[in-house]
């Protein structure tokens, strides 16, 4: 199957809150964007999970996924990600099987551990559980899908998933340990915003070494900022805002990792901001339609990932998201498929 045939375009909804927006404003926007993506023929919509952040309204990826599956007709709904160590693995498997059943196979379970912040102290396990709890939680979830619910005696999973073996499971991968975790279980990876296409390709090579030929999955996914702007200056300003957040360690949306090391000041910080802005502009699909097509084709071709999670909500400008999504679905995604079918890449 060619890249053009196998590529899937999805929308990543972070449920971010801009200044002055209420919980209702944020959640209504998320639901509206999911319905819009469904109507436009977008392949997937992905939703996040975060706790105790005033800037994000996303405390339950599973609950919102259930609502969106009921509110849409054809689109696949995935979690990116369910913070698996914070939840009972068996209960997660039960919920995923239920969603797989009632949606006719339109649910994808993305799992990860997130960041070792206050949620691990308040909800479950502490930082040590963040460090060590993911492998066992994942294995219990997968075993439950196969009817091997851990307990004092054999217990059934009710309901059984409609999809044999359970719905598709993706593992968020940001380190060698998480690459190995996914590979040894034969599960595809979900790669994030801070990895350039070359780094993603190297991680997939590493995955294949860990997995061996018999288990290697080719269905990896990656997330990308994907904004259509009116000018190059607007595109640069959007990525400059991201660069400043990274340097300050704000990590407001918790999808970009702050730059390590000592935090610079004065002239030095401005130089670093511009350096990181250049890197982000070269990596992400931010700019006019032609630039977005170029960046998406390049990311897909170089990385080897064929499932794309497009972050379409410009930070601080979330009301623009509906217009961005409409143009992506009508102008950009078809052009990317055409370019991939023709075997053309762009740098």
Task: Specify the 3-state DSSP secondary structure of 228.
Answer: strand
Residue 230 φ then ψ, to 5°: -80, -20
Among 195, 234, 246, residue whose Cα is nearest residue 314: 234
Name the pTM for this structure: 0.92
pLDDT number for residue 291: 97
Residue-by-residue DSSP string for 238-256: HHHHHHHHHHHT--TTSSS
pLDDT number for residue 215: 65
| Cβ-based burial of 35 (10 A; exposed 0-12, middle 13-18, buried ≥19) | middle
Mean pLDDT by 10 residues, the chain (347 residues): 81 95 98 98 97 93 98 98 97 98 98 87 88 95 94 90 97 96 96 95 96 78 96 96 77 41 61 93 97 98 97 93 98 98 69
Q: Which residues pair with 316 in a beta bridge?
A: none
pLDDT number for residue 318: 95
Cα distance between residue 265 and residue 263, in whole Å: 7
Among 86, 6, 102, 97, residue whose Cα is nearest residue 50: 86
pLDDT number for residue 116: 64
Contacts of 257 (CB under 8 A, 6+ apart): 174, 194, 246, 251
Contacts of 32 (CB under 8 A, 6+ apart): 322
H/E stretch holding 25 reads helix 23-40
């Amino acid at each position: 199957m060619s890249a053009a045939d196998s590529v899937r375009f999805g929308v990543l909804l972070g449920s971010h809150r801009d200044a002055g927006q209420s919980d209702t404003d944020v959640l209504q926007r998320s639901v509206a964007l999911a319905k819009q993506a469904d109507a436009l023929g977008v392949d997937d919509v992905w939703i996040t999970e975060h706790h105790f952040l005033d800037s994000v309204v996303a405390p339950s990826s599973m609950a919102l996924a259930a609502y969106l599956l009921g509110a849409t007709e054809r689109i696949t709904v995935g979690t990116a990600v369910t913070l698996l160590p914070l939840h009972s693995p068996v209960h997660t498997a039960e919920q995923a099987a239920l969603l797989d059943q009632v949606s006719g196979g339109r649910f994808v379970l993305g799992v990860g551990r997130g960041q070792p912040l206050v949620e691990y102290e308040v909800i479950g396990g502490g930082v040590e559980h963040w460090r060590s709890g993911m492998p066992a939680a994942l294995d219990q979830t997968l075993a439950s899908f196969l009817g091997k619910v851990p307990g004092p005696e054999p217990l059934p999973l009710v309901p059984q998933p409609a999809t044999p073996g359970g719905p598709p499971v993706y593992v968020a991968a940001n380190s060698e340990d998480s690459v190995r975790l996914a590979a040894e279980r034969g599960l595809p990876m979900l790669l994030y915003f801070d990895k350039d296409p070359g780094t993603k390709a190297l991680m997939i090579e590493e995955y294949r070494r860990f997995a061996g030929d018999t288990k290697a999955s080719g269905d990896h996914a990656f997330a990308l900022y994907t904004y259509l702007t009116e000018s190059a200056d607007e595109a640069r300003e959007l990525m400059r805002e991201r660069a400043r957040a990274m340097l300050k360690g704000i990590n407001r949306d918790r999808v970009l990792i702050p730059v390590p090391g000592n935090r610079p000041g004065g002239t030095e910080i401005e130089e670093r901001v511009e350096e990181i802005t250049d890197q982000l502009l070269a990596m992400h699909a931010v700019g006019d339609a032609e630039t977005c097509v170029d960046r998406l084709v390049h990311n897909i071709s170089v990385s080897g990932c064929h499932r794309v999670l497009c972050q379409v909500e410009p930070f601080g400008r979330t009301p623009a998201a509906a217009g961005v999504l409409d143009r992506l679905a009508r102008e950009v995604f078809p052009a990317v498929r055409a370019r991939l079918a023709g075997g053309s890449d762009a740098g």
